[in-house]
Amino acid sequence: MSNPQAIVDLTHEVKRLATSKISDINDINRETTFLALNALIEAARAGDAGKGFAVVANQVKHVSRRISEITTALNKDLAGSLSTLTQLGDSMIDRLRSHDGQRCADLALNMIDVIDRNLYERSCDVRWWATDSAVVECLAARNAADAADAATQAAHAAERLSVILDSYTVYRDLWVIDEHGVVIANGRHGQYPVRGQNVSETAWFRSAMKTKSGADYVAADIETLAPLRQAQVATYATAIREHGRANGRVLGVLAVFFDWAPQAGAVVKGVRLSDEEWSRTRCMIVDSTFRVLASSDDKGILDERFRLQVEGKQAGYYRAHDGTVVSFAATPGYETYRGLGWYGVICQKPAQNA
Q: Model confidence over 157-202: pLDDT tens digits?
A: 999 999 999 999 999 999 999 999 999 999 999 999 999 999 999 9
Kindly give, in sequence order, each residue whose CB lies less than 8 Å from that of residue 207, ignoring residues fewer than 6 positions away.
218, 237
Start and end residues for every CATH 3.30.450.20 domain found in the chain = 121-260
Report pLDDT for 87. Answer: 65
Report pLDDT for 336. Answer: 78
Report pLDDT for 157. Answer: 95
Q: How far apart are CA 154 and CA 140, in angstroms?
A: 10
Report whether pLDDT(106) > 50.
yes
Who wins on pLDDT, 142 or 231? Answer: 231
Report pLDDT for 180. Answer: 96
Who wins on pLDDT, 264 or 70? Answer: 264
Say if CB 234 and CB 218 are below 8 A apart: no
Total residues belonging to the chain: 354
Report whether pLDDT(134) > 80.
yes
pLDDT digits (tens, 9 = 90+) for 53-68: 666 667 766 776 777 7
pLDDT digits (tens, 9 = 90+) for 194-248: 999 999 999 999 999 999 999 999 999 899 999 999 999 999 999 999 999 999 9
Using 50, 70 and 90 to split pLDDT, how confident is the model at 334? confident
CA angle at 173 for the pair 117 and 218, rounded to the nearest 5°: 50
- The count of other CB atoms within 10 Å of the CB of residue 36 is 20
CA dist list (Å): 110 to 104, 122, 203, 334: 10, 19, 30, 12
Using 50, 70 and 90 to split pLDDT, how confident is the model at 354? very low
Report whether pLDDT(2) > 60.
no
pTM of the model: 0.72
Among the residue ranges 132-146, 194-208, 215-229, 312-326, the one predicted with the least confidence is 132-146
Report whether pLDDT(94) > 60.
no
CATH number at 4-96: 1.10.287.950
Mean pLDDT, residues 340-347: 95
Q: How far apart are CA 104 and CA 101, in angstroms?
A: 5
Say if CB 317 and CB 327 are below 8 A apart: yes
HEC string for the chain:
CCCHHHHHHHHHHHHHHHHHHHHHHHHHHHHHHHHHHHHHHHHHHHHHHHHHHHHHHHHHHHHHHHHHHHHHHHHHHHHHHHHHHHHHHHHHHHHHHHHHHHHHHHHHHHHHHHHHHHHHHHHHHHHHHCCCHHHHHHHHHHHCCCHHHHHHHHHHHHHHHHHHHHHCCCEEEEEEEECCCEEEEECCCCCCCCCCCECCCCHHHHHHHCCCCCCCCEECCCEEEHHHCCEEEEEEEEEEEHHHCCCCCEEEEEEEEEEHHHHHHHHHCCCCCCHHHHCCEEEEEECCCCEEEEECCCCCCCCCECCCCCCCCCEEEEECCCCCEEEEEECCCECCECCCCCEEEEEECCCCCC
Start and end residues for every CATH 1.10.287.950 domain found in the chain = 4-96
**pLDDT > 70 in the chain, percent:** 78
How much is the mean pLDDT over the chain?
Answer: 85
Among the residue ranges 18-27, 184-193, 307-316, 328-337, the one predicted with the least confidence is 18-27
Report the interhelical angle of 260-268 vs 80-129 (nearest 10°): 150
Report pLDDT for 122. Answer: 93
Closest CA to 178 of 151, 205, 158, 160: 205
Name the fold adopted by 264-348: Beta-Lactamase (3.30.450)
Closest CA to 178 of 253, 257, 256, 255: 253
> Hey, what amino acid is at 32?
T
CATH homologous superfamily of 121-260 equals: PAS domain (3.30.450.20)
Closest CA to 183 of 240, 231, 128: 240
**pLDDT > 90 in the chain, percent:** 62
Closest CA to 234 of 173, 282, 275, 155: 173
Among the residue ranges 84-93, 244-253, 338-347, the one predicted with the least confidence is 84-93
Using 50, 70 and 90 to split pLDDT, how confident is the model at 101? confident
Mean pLDDT, residues 325-335: 91
Who wins on pLDDT, 137 or 45? Answer: 137
